[in-house]
Amino acid sequence: MSGPRIQAIHVIGGGLAGSEAAWQIAHAGVPVILHEMRPETATAAHKTDGLAELVCSNSFRADDHEQNAVGLLHEEMRRLGSLVMRAADGNQVPAGGALAVDRDGFSAAVTAALTAHPLVTIERGEIGLPPDDWDNVIVATGPLTSPTLADAIRALTGQDALAFFDAIAPIVHRDSIDMSVAWFQSRYDKAGSGGTGADYINCPMTREQYEGFVAALLAGDKTSFHDWEGSTPYFDGCLPVEVMAERGPETLRHGPMKPVGLTNRHRPDAKPYAVVQLRQDNKLGTLFNMVGFQTKLKHGEQVRIFRTIPGLENAEFARLGGLHRNTFLNSPTLLDPTLRLRAMPRLRFAGQITGCEGYVESSAVGLLAGRVAAAEWQGRVPDLPPATTALGALVNHITGGHIDTIDAGPRSFQPMNINFGLFPPLAQAPTHGPDGKKLRGPEKAVARKRALCRRALADLDAWIAGRALAPAAE
Ligand SMILES: Cc1cc2nc3c(=O)[nH]c(=O)nc-3n(C[C@H](O)[C@H](O)[C@H](O)COP(=O)(O)OP(=O)(O)OC[C@H]3O[C@@H](n4cnc5c(N)ncnc54)[C@H](O)[C@@H]3O)c2cc1C
């Protein structure tokens, strides 16, 4: 183990993740240089030179740590002394159960705290590949990483490892799929290298259902691309499902919805006219993605239309589909468990570029990256919160919880918000309420979420208590 050195940790990108990482590093007593390219070099979405600028909505989403996954993440970050959460709480505006903020006040609070910290130096200017003598670097340059740095990262990771668009197919909670209608089977029962021959969930459609579904896709309300997204190439192999439908009524039936090689286990006599397939998305087997269903349909339309698919009538979506400009790594392959690039371990990644999604998640990954980078600098063994916490579940999903496609096809790792599907299941899910009555339907789901939240916070507290480094107290 090496002792403390004079050289600072370098954090590239003064957005949500980079600001949080720099704060955690400085709080641990380690000097840090935070590099932000604005205002010298602009991005297509930022408008100011402030640190931690919110580029779109001013909401950090639900602030309920008793039964909501993102609310739980808020609370865990607070318990670890998050600067982002402190600035958000201090600049809250009324928004019902959500934590919404005055965006200028929020960014000003983050900027002021970092500027005032004696161990933080803020340098303005774009960084390309970090110089060789920067031996502990966090890259937190976000979905709009500058092209120079993106090219340098691509040269290190390989052509296909850095995506510039997320083409997201909806992801469904496994336990919300009606398996009395759907069934497990791989096409032609093929096991492939990592499969069993029954790896996909199949939802059958009759001709009438298929034709109604295609008509609904065509009529559904879609979102449009931003001007600056239009020129980014993305279409190869990931056409939106509604664009495929526009190409002709039979296109989907010969593409992602082809019924060949599949036999309805519930009705072997009735050959399906079309089949929607869902593929396991995480190692826990709690989430399944709709194969080939990347889409620009508006979120409400996706829920309405996709719940007409037999077996998905009560589907709960861990995330809905989309197509956006985004720069992110194929992290499960490229990053080690403490977020270091395997090909160049002096570089660690944080924020949306790692394949998390959202302001809170990006800040959370920044918090973890800052803590492990500081531990490494101090010669301590870097460790991360347990997988049962929201922080642990998120980072585990990014660095290893996701499974790649079972068969050949486009890579499947796509950015994801925190959700309960990323948590290891409870050893014993609640079955009865405090009054002794048997729980049913929605009550049971709420009780499960509450139990997951309680377990997470208890495990986080135990983890914090076991660490020499106290939370970054205000
Ligand atoms: C248009 C758009 C809208 C979004 N809207 C929302 C939303 O409403 N709600 C939500 O939860 N999430 C939203 N997101 C997703 C995401 O949560 C945010 O982008 C979030 O800001 C990501 O945090 P980050 O720290 O990873 O990146 P950012 O906050 O973008 O920070 C990255 C920083 O790195 C700097 N930078 C880039 N390249 C370099 C370089 N080479 N050298 C130095 N500095 C560099 C940038 O200027 C920027 O300040 C949106 C994303 C986009 C692109």
Query: Could you read off the pLDDT of 378-394 as tens digits, one per residue?
Result: 999 999 999 999 999 99
pLDDT, tens digit, 9 for 90 and up, residues 147-190: 999 999 999 988 677 777 666 789 999 999 999 999 999 988 98
65-69, 319-323, 348-352, 417-421: the lowest-pLDDT one:
319-323
Q: Provide residues with CB under 6 Å of ligand 1.
A: 12-18, 35-38, 43, 45-46, 55-57, 126-127, 140-146, 149, 351-353, 358-359, 362
Q: 145 CA distance to ligand 1 centroid (A)?
A: 8
The atom of ligand 1 lying closest to the CA of 325 is 53
pLDDT, tens digit, 9 for 90 and up, residues 416-430: 899 999 999 999 989
pLDDT, tens digit, 9 for 90 and up, residues 260-282: 999 999 999 999 999 999 988 78
The single residue listed with the structure tokens 């009524």 is 249
138 CB-near residues (< 8 Å, 6+ apart)? 9, 10, 11, 12, 18, 21, 348, 349, 350, 366, 369, 370, 373
Q: How confident is the model at residue 113 (pLDDT cuts 50, 70, 90)?
A: very high
How large is the average pLDDT for residues 223-242? Answer: 63
Q: 460 CA distance to ligand 1 centroid (A)?
A: 27
Q: 326 CA distance to ligand 1 centroid (A)?
A: 9
Tokens of 319: 């995330």
The atom of ligand 1 lying closest to the CA of 127 is 42
User: Best mutation site among 23, 41, 53, 144 for ligand 1, i.e. most ligand atoms within 8 A of its Cβ?
Assistant: 144
Q: 55 CA distance to ligand 1 centroid (A)?
A: 7
User: Best mutation site among 84, 141, 324 for ligand 1, i.e. most ligand atoms within 8 A of its Cβ?
Assistant: 141
Q: How confident is the model at residue 224 (pLDDT cuts 50, 70, 90)?
A: confident
Predicted local confidence at residue 131, as pLDDT: 96
Residue 133: Cβ within 10 Å count: 7
The atom of ligand 1 lying closest to the CA of 146 is 38
Predicted local confidence at residue 69, as pLDDT: 97
Nearest CA to ligand 1 atom 45: 13
The atom of ligand 1 lying closest to the CA of 149 is 41
Let me know: does 400 contact 334? Beta carbons within 8 Å: no
Distance CA 411, CA 334 (A): 13
How large is the average pLDDT for residues 8-15? Answer: 98
Nearest CA to ligand 1 atom 49: 15
Q: How confident is the model at residue 442 (pLDDT cuts 50, 70, 90)?
A: confident
Q: What percent of the chain has pLDDT over 70?
A: 91
Reduce the DSSP state of residue 214 to 3 states and report it. helix
Nearest CA to ligand 1 atom 11: 358
Q: How many CA atoms lie within 13 A of 216 on its CB side?
A: 17
Q: 305 CA distance to ligand 1 centroid (A)?
A: 31
The atom of ligand 1 lying closest to the CA of 361 is 17
Q: Are strands 9-12 and 32-36 parallel, antiparallel or unpaired?
A: parallel
Q: 184 CA distance to ligand 1 centroid (A)?
A: 39
Q: How confident is the model at residue 44 (pLDDT cuts 50, 70, 90)?
A: confident
Predicted local confidence at residue 230, as pLDDT: 56
Helices first, then strands: H and E counts in the chain: 12, 17
Q: How confident is the model at residue 372 (pLDDT cuts 50, 70, 90)?
A: very high
Nearest CA to ligand 1 atom 27: 142
Rounded to the nearest angstrom, the gap between the alpha carbon of residue 293 and the centroid of all alpha carbons in its chain is 18
For residue 234, pLDDT over 50 is answered with: no
For residue 73, pLDDT over 80 is answered with: yes
Q: 84 CA distance to ligand 1 centroid (A)?
A: 14
Predicted local confidence at residue 409, as pLDDT: 44
Nearest CA to ligand 1 atom 19: 143
In sequence order, what E strands does 142-291 have? 162-168, 171-173, 183-184, 200-205, 274-280, 287-290
375 CB-near residues (< 8 Å, 6+ apart)? 28, 381, 382, 383, 469
**Torsional sign, CA 38, 39, 42, 46:** positive
Q: 11 CA distance to ligand 1 centroid (A)?
A: 14
Q: 65 CA distance to ligand 1 centroid (A)?
A: 25
pLDDT, averaged across the chain: 89
Nearest CA to ligand 1 atom 1: 45
**pTM for the whole thing?**
0.82
Q: 310 CA distance to ligand 1 centroid (A)?
A: 38
Q: 366 CA distance to ligand 1 centroid (A)?
A: 12
How large is the average pLDDT for residues 124-136? Answer: 96
